[in-house]
Structure 1
Amino acid sequence: MIKRLAILDADILYDPLRATYGSYGQMFLDLLADWQDEWQMQVYSVINGEYPASMGEFDAVLITGSKFDSFADDDWIVRLRDYVCELYDQKKPMIGICFGHQLLAHALGGKAGRSDKGWGLGVMRYQVADKAEFMDATDTVDLIVSHQDQVSDLPPGATRLWGNDFCINAAFVIPGQVLAIQGHPEFTTNYAQALLSYRKDRLPGDAVEKAEQSLQQTHDGAAVARWMRRFIENLP
């Protein structure tokens, strides 16, 4: 049976990047292209107020990253937090990436906010704390990151999957319902470099240089995409 994934796009790319890279929704469609044998995927621009007509239209939800703060009081962010609480009560499986990771934590009883550790940029390595059954056997996870907010407190019932000294709660799972990941499996190296270049004048110079060097490394975005699929397909 074909399953349906709602991709809730929570951002609009900066003008100079949009023509080449489209949207975060499109990046996920590209990342998850091999799901299309069994999944139908529809992108909704929640930042513009677009939502599925009903929760019954889809089997799982993915919330993208965003330049905005998941804990802010903008009307569209408050609406999205309320919406994921409704989805949670309906036991709808959810995956959150970066902003989506933070928003899920914050909405479901944890806490997200601006970190005093500054920006996380480039490819970051995390140590695996809990090897969930949907993950491959590995002790580390490398992902492209771009964030200055972090999850400081996990929501009730959550298990930390991986983290490091910079970002302790870089991924968590609420068994049977939520998978949340701070890093960006959908980012290509080219997009990460373009975003870094666009923001260069607003970022610490030493952090930019370190990030640019790290982007020469490979990352585990494709592996994490496999884990995301296993997570939602193996749910009861």
Structure 2
Amino acid sequence: MRLAILDADILREALQPKYHSYGRMFEALFERQQPDWEMTIFKVIDGYYPPSMDQYDAFLMTGSQYDAFSDEPWVRRLREYAQTLFQAGRPMIGICFGHQLLAHALGGEAGRAGGGWGMGVMSYSLLATPSFVDDAAPVSLIVSHRDQVTRLPPEAERLLSNDFCPNAAFYISGRVLAIQGHPEFSVDYARALFEYRKDELPPKLAAEVRQSFSLPHQGERVGRWMRRFLEQALA
């Protein structure tokens, strides 16, 4: 497996020494599962892309503090790249911003969430059990977003949902897996990121988010879904 990780953000300077980058977080997530993969990070936010899509078997788009539906030139370019990958039949995974960008690029829609910021650990119902999923138990993931997928692309099936985020994950069989939550986040990083955004929440909600960090989250479980999705797509 040759995986291109398309990193769509630059971490805050104070967080870089400890957490490095979103691309590195995904490398670490997959390395813990010990797959025999070759992973390369491309900073698409700075305009760096694989020299040729044919050099990679699959592609992963990370989270970002930017809007997946914006007209920023680098965001438009990434949406166009996603469309090209999809037309070429390349398997793709999108997380948070990547989840929203894939929806928007492939004929769905993303925008500001009516409920404002979602942060902390949230639980989701599993609405389908495709072959890459282990069982039908609810899923808990770390989240940090104020945008959401508001309309799924054609052919997409909803995978995860709750009242705050009805389209929390979707998939297009063998081609796309897109997830709003962050399986790659550690609780420590999520807490550190929350400190930058807490003033945008009402005090009561901020307290609830802090408390939620003590709940278990299933990033490793969802990481295994991602691994199986890609391996099955390329089998």
Q: Which TM-score band (shorter chain)?
A: over 0.9
For residue 192 of structure 2, give the secondary structure of its aligned residue in structure 1: helix
**What is the TM-score with the length of structure 1 in the denominator?**
0.97
Q: Tell me, in whole angstroms, the C-alpha distance in 2 between the residues paired with 1:9 and 1:67.
A: 12
Tell me the residue number matched to 1:152.
150
Q: Within 5 A, what are the aligned runs for 1:23-172? A: 23-34=21-32, 37-172=35-170
Q: Tell me, in whole angstroms, the C-alpha distance in 2 between the residues paired with 1:37 and 1:207.
A: 39
Residues 121 and 207, structure 1, Cα contact 8 Å, conserved in 2 = no
For residue 105 of structure 1, give the secondary structure of its aligned residue in structure 2: helix
Q: Tell me, in whole angstroms, the C-alpha distance in 2 between the residues paired with 1:223 and 1:201.
A: 31
Q: Tell me, in whole angstroms, the C-alpha distance in 2 between the residues paired with 1:77 and 1:161.
A: 25
Q: Deviations over 1:155-195 (max 9, x none)?
A: 00000001001100000000110000000000000000000
Residues 128 and 136, structure 2, Cα contact 8 Å, conserved in 1 = no
The amino acid that maps onto 1:231 is: F
For residue 164 of structure 2, give the secondary structure of its aligned residue in structure 1: coil
Tell me the residue number matched to 1:179.
177
Q: What's the CA shift for 1:15?
A: 1.6
Q: Tell me, in whole angstroms, the C-alpha distance in 1 between the residues paired with 2:10 and 2:202.
A: 24
Residues 62 and 97, structure 2, Cα contact 8 Å, conserved in 1 = yes
Q: What's the CA shift for 1:204?
A: 2.5
Q: Deviations over 1:41-99 (max 9, x none)?
A: 00000000000000101000000000000000000000000000000000000000000
Q: What's the CA shift for 1:23?
A: 0.6
Residues 88 and 177, structure 1, Cα contact 8 Å, conserved in 2 = yes
Tell me the residue number matched to 1:216.
214
Q: Tell me, in whole angstroms, the C-alpha distance in 1 between the residues paired with 2:187 and 2:18.
A: 14
Q: What's the CA shift for 1:36?
A: 5.0
Q: Which runs of 5+ in 2 are unaligned?
A: none
The amino acid that maps onto 2:230 is: I
Q: Tell me, in whole angstroms, the C-alpha distance in 2 between the residues paired with 1:34 and 1:22.
A: 17
For residue 217 of structure 2, give the secondary structure of its aligned residue in structure 1: coil
Q: Tell me, in whole angstroms, the C-alpha distance in 1 between the residues paired with 2:70 and 2:114.
A: 17
For residue 32 of structure 1, give the secondary structure of its aligned residue in structure 2: helix
Q: How many residues align?
A: 234
For residue 160 of structure 1, give the secondary structure of its aligned residue in structure 2: strand
The amino acid that maps onto 2:3 is: L
RMSD: 1.0
**What is the TM-score with the length of structure 2 in the denominator?**
0.97
Q: Tell me, in whole angstroms, the C-alpha distance in 2 between the residues paired with 1:125 and 1:37.
A: 28
Q: Tell me, in whole angstroms, the C-alpha distance in 1 between the residues paired with 2:177 and 2:17.
A: 30
The amino acid that maps onto 1:50 is: Y
The 10-residue stretch of structure 1 (23-32 or 96-105) with the greater mean CA deviation from structure 2: 23-32
Change (3 A) 1:134 1:58: same
Tell me the residue number matched to 2:18.
20
Q: Which runs of 5+ in 1 are unaligned?
A: none
